[in-house]
Amino acid sequence: MDNQYEMELAQAKANLADFKERGEDAIAGTWDELRQELFTPEEIAASNLRVQLMAKLAHTQHDIDIPQHELEPLLW
């Protein structure tokens, strides 16, 4: 095993031990809180738009009863 792997494995084991000891308190927060830390407001807005578009596409596909294999060529 290489040194990087061993270091990451040791960190994972320490994190697991911490979680076992502290339980839910070892978890930093919610997904929304983490997302705010990791992504810019613009990236979050773009992600939300993609989710809305995919949801609309899925509902429309269901409403017009078009199979996935017929829909894909229209999208790409």
Give yes or no: residues 19 and 46 share one domain. no
Tokens encoding 22: 């502290």
Residues 45 and 72 in one domain: yes
The identity of residue 40, as a single letter, is: T
Check whether residue 29 and residue 45 sit in a common domain: no
DSSP type of residue 27: S
Residue found under tokens 């996935």: 68
Condensed to tens digits (0 to 9), the pLDDT of residues 16-52 reads 999 999 988 888 788 899 899 999 999 999 999 999 9
Please say if the pLDDT value at position 53 is more than 70. Answer: yes
Are 44 and 76 members of one domain?
A: yes
Domain that holds residue 11: 1-38
The pTM is what? Answer: 0.55
18 in Cβ contact with 27 (< 8 Å): no
Output the CA torsion 10→17→32→60 (10° steps): 80
Q: How many domains does the chain have?
A: 2
Pair of tokens at residue 35: 């997302």
| Distance between CA atoms of residues 25 and 35, nearest Å | 19
